[in-house]
Chains A and B, each alone.
Chain A
Amino acid sequence: MSSSIENIETEIAEEFDLFDSWEDKYQYIIELGQKLPVLDEKYKLEENKIKGCQSSVWLYSYAKDDKVYFEADSDSTFVKGEIALLIRVLSGQKPQDIISTELSFIDKIGLRQHIAQTRANGLASMIKQMKLFAVGYQAQKV
């Protein structure tokens, strides 16, 4: 059975507690980005693209057994690292849980101060899109 969103968020927050500097956190996120499984080229479609000011994200989703799964890619490795974290938290969760989560881990790991100031990497639009997919799957169920 998969872990709850909240539990995974706590896990991530604990991992990030090990780093005290922004440089170390950055490097860890880059590492996550480099390890993110490659998104199949066939999903790199214009319709799956979220265009940020400085990076593009391709987000693909599907539902299986009442759960929503995400795969994604970006031209920025840092953004891929962020995607890896979001996927770890949200992929495989129930639509309702995805819709209602506030993703407090972003604040807890100190990421918000580095991304909120810039429209650059489109994390906010990524989250919004993930939630929209969840809303879509939720609606299909009813």
Chain B
Amino acid sequence: MLPDAAIEKKTTFDPQRARKDFPILKQTAYGKPLIYFDNAATSQKPQSVIDALTKYYTDYNANIHRGVHYLSQKASQAFDDVRVKAQQFINAKSEKEIIFVRGTTEAINLVASSYGRKNINADDEIIISAMEHHSNIVPWQMLCEEKKAVLKIIPMNDDGELLFEEFEKLLSPKTKFISVVHISNSLGTINPVKRIIAKAHQHNIPVLVDGAQSVVHTQIDVQDLDCDFFAFSGHKMFGPTGVGCLYGKLNLLEDMPPYQGGGEMIQSVSFEKTTYNEVPYKFEAGTPNIADVIALGTAIDYLLSLDRKAIADYENELTEYASSKLKEIEGIRLIGTAKKKASVVSFVIDRVNALDAGMYLDTLGIAVRTGHHCTEPVMDRFKIPGTIRASFMFYNTKEEIDALVDGVKKAIKLLKK
């Protein structure tokens, strides 16, 4: 979490130096310098991560944990090392608590499917928040449908902040699970997950934290948070697509049935009886995404090589700067004005369609996201069809934000109905 004071403080972070690590940022779009403000959708990749992928396929591609040969041992070692890296990265107690998955979505589905099916029964209640991504809504809806359980929603205020007292009111003996987003992808709100977890634990209710957005912008300590599950994607933190992690407390994971069946997740198989492998392998059926896991390790190395406090301060500065500049423009309304926010500025323009504005910004080489950002209930809450979202990373600059502000002004001139 970022202290409030960080927002005020000017940083000495040098984005130009950081930009050099990301080859994609050197290019132009339609002959204009590319300005990438779609970081909440996916981050760009540093050269070291790209090189790690090439190196794996060039030097030591082999299937892991089975082969007795040189390449397999080398690949297995590299793969296993990443589990330890990921464990240290989020400060899990044991590397067994790290399960490799395709991303946050699969992590949540795994918990809903495995933990959920075993522990949720008819009339039980599951709590999520009003600002969840569809990936933290639909798996629970599916589970509720199957089990005749009930989904409860923590509401939020007009600034996009969760109402803690309303959350407390939702808690009851029927509450069996809570799944909540750490940082909202469409509003940027940083939720008080530690407080939510502490409260839930008073009632012995386990909590999953969706860390898709938070893992890159804040330092995660799962023991300090005391969350029961934590899900994140590699591609939003400079790693490749198709890989992510589920953290789960060991006792919970050990008690959960497997998610998918196949190779690797078994101890022995006969037609009469199959015994399952131990955690975490029990949850990793089939040949894993070896190359991308290894490159995720490189992405973790990259993140850890940075001064994360300085980066967080700088990203806050960018967010504040963009918010204040955009707010000055007549007809603009910021959506998501929480006191604690990270790296996302979502806005609507009076009488300008968000898609039209986003496409116009694209003609200027500026990449933003438009629409509901896979959080339709959030849009319904604010009674808007969608927003224009600019999301920042430390390789962005104030000059780029100036270009965005200028582009938005031009878009209004061109498009206002």
A residues lining the B interface (CB < 8 Å): 21-23, 26-27, 30, 53-55, 75-79, 114, 120-121
Cα–Cα distance between A26 and B355 once the two chains are bound (Å): 12
Take A30-B415, A53-B371, A77-B417 as given contacts and tell me if A23 and B355 are in contact as well, using a CB distance cutoff of 8 Å.
no
Take A23-B364, A54-B386 as given contacts and tell me if A120 and B356 are in contact as well, using a CB distance cutoff of 8 Å.
no
Q: Would you give the shortest CB distance from B160 to chain A, in whole angstroms?
A: 21
Q: Which 4 A-B pairs have the closest CB atoms?
A: A23-B363, A54-B371, A76-B353, A54-B355
Give the one of A53, A77, A114 with max B CB within 10 A.
Answer: A77
Take A23-B363, A26-B359, A54-B371 as given contacts and tell me if A75 and B30 are in contact as well, using a CB distance cutoff of 8 Å.
no
> Which residue on A lies nearest to B352, using beta carbons?
A77
A30 near B370: Cβ-Cβ < 8 Å: no
Q: Other CB < 8 Å A-B pairs besides A26-B360, A78-B356, 18 of them?
A: A21-B363, A22-B30, A23-B30, A23-B363, A23-B364, A53-B371, A54-B370, A54-B371, A55-B355, A76-B353, A76-B355, A76-B356, A77-B353, A77-B415, A78-B353, A78-B355, A114-B362, A120-B370
Q: Is B354 an interface residue (CB 8 A)?
A: yes
Take A23-B30, A54-B370, A54-B386 as given contacts and tell me if A78 and B363 are in contact as well, using a CB distance cutoff of 8 Å.
no
Cα–Cα distance between A140 and B362 once the two chains are bound (Å): 44
Chain B residues within an 8 Å CB radius of A55 = 353, 355
B331-371 to A contact mask, C-beta < 8 Å, 1/0: 00000000000000000000001111001101110000011
17 A–B contact pairs at CB < 8 A? A21-B30, A22-B363, A23-B30, A26-B359, A30-B356, A30-B414, A30-B415, A54-B371, A54-B372, A54-B385, A54-B386, A55-B353, A75-B385, A77-B353, A77-B356, A77-B417, A78-B356
Take A77-B415, A77-B417 as given contacts and tell me if A120 and B363 are in contact as well, using a CB distance cutoff of 8 Å.
no
Chain B residues within an 8 Å CB radius of A21 = 30-31, 363
Interface residues of B in 364-417 (CB under 8 A from A): 364, 370-372, 385-386, 414-415, 417
Chain A residues within an 8 Å CB radius of B353 = 55, 75-78
Q: Would you give the shortest CB distance from B267 to chain A, in whole angstroms?
A: 44
Chain B residues within an 8 Å CB radius of A54 = 354-355, 370-372, 385-386
B356 near A27: Cβ-Cβ < 8 Å: no
Q: Would you give the shortest CB distance from B57 to chain A, in whole angstroms?
A: 27
Q: Would you give the shortest CB distance from B201 to chain A, in whole angstroms?
A: 39
Cα–Cα distance between A30 and B358 once the two chains are bound (Å): 13
A27 near B414: Cβ-Cβ < 8 Å: yes
* A-B CB contacts (within 8 Å), total count: 48
Cα–Cα distance between A5 and B359 once the two chains are bound (Å): 28
Q: Would you give the shortest CB distance from A47 to chain B, in whole angstroms?
A: 20
> Which residue on A lies nearest to B386, using beta carbons?
A54
Cα–Cα distance between A55 and B362 once the two chains are bound (Å): 17
Cα–Cα distance between A35 and B205 once the two chains are bound (Å): 58
A26 near B354: Cβ-Cβ < 8 Å: no
Q: Would you give the shortest CB distance from A20 to chain B, in whole angstroms?
A: 10
Take A54-B370, A120-B371 as given contacts and tell me if A114 and B359 are in contact as well, using a CB distance cutoff of 8 Å.
yes
Choice from A22, A27, A120 contacting B355 with Cβ under 8 Å = A120
> Which residue on A lies nearest to B370, using beta carbons?
A54
Cα–Cα distance between A40 and B417 once the two chains are bound (Å): 18
Give the one of B354, B359, B372, B414 with max A CB within 10 A.
Answer: B359
Chain B residues within an 8 Å CB radius of A26 = 359-360, 363
Take A53-B371, A54-B370 as given contacts and tell me if A121 and B355 are in contact as well, using a CB distance cutoff of 8 Å.
yes
Interface residues of B in 30-59 (CB under 8 A from A): 30-31
Chain A residues within an 8 Å CB radius of B415 = 30, 77
Give the one of A26, A27, A54, A78 with max B CB within 10 A.
Answer: A54
Cα–Cα distance between A54 and B363 once the two chains are bound (Å): 18
Cα–Cα distance between A120 and B371 once the two chains are bound (Å): 8
Chain A residues within an 8 Å CB radius of B354 = 54
Q: Would you give the shortest CB distance from B406 to chain A, in whole angstroms?
A: 14
Chain A residues within an 8 Å CB radius of B362 = 22, 114
Chain A residues within an 8 Å CB radius of B360 = 26, 30
Cα–Cα distance between A75 and B356 once the two chains are bound (Å): 9
> Which residue on B lies nearest to A74, using beta carbons?
B353
Cα–Cα distance between A23 and B30 once the two chains are bound (Å): 8
> Which residue on B lies nearest to A119, using beta carbons?
B371
Cα–Cα distance between A75 and B371 once the two chains are bound (Å): 13
Cα–Cα distance between A26 and B30 once the two chains are bound (Å): 12
Q: Would you give the shortest CB distance from B34 to chain A, in whole angstroms?
A: 13
Chain A residues within an 8 Å CB radius of B359 = 26, 78, 114
Cα–Cα distance between A99 and B364 once the two chains are bound (Å): 37
Chain A residues within an 8 Å CB radius of B417 = 77
Interface residues of B in 1-47 (CB under 8 A from A): 30-31
Chain A residues within an 8 Å CB radius of B356 = 30, 76-78
A79 near B355: Cβ-Cβ < 8 Å: yes
Q: Would you give the shortest CB distance from A71 to chain B, in whole angstroms?
A: 19
